[in-house]
């Protein structure tokens, strides 16, 4: 697994660096947006951790 940064422009993800993959290789993409200070959680560490703990749990179906 390798992490690559991309920029979303006009409906297309543009990689910020080249990757070495054979032509036609299928890949999976996980979108994690970078947050800036305006979107960062507010409060002290305890309140931020409490907010995280209150989030619903995600389950992954294992095949």
What pLDDT is recorded for position 20? 92
Mean local confidence (pLDDT), 31-54: 74
Q: How remote is the C-alpha of 11 from its chain's centroid?
A: 17
Are 41 and 48 contacting, i.e. CB atoms less than 8 angstroms apart?
yes
φ, ψ for residue 8 (rounded to 5)?
A: -85, 120
What pLDDT is recorded for position 24? 95
What pLDDT is recorded for position 57? 81
Neighbouring C-beta atoms of residue 48, cutoff 10 Å? 13
DSSP conformation letters of 9-49: ETTEEEESS-----TT--------PPP-TTTSPPS-HHHHH
What pTM was computed for the model?
A: 0.46
Give the pLDDT confidence of 13-33 residue by residue, as tens digits: 999 999 999 999 999 988 888
């Amino acid at each position: 697994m390798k992490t690559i940064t991309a920029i979303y422009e006009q409906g297309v993800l543009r990689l910020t660096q080249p990757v070495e993959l054979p032509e036609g290789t299928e890949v999976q993409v996980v979108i994690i947006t970078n947050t800036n200070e305006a979107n960062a959680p507010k409060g002290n560490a305890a309140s931020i951790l409490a907010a995280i703990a209150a989030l619903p749990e995600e389950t992954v179906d294992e095949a």
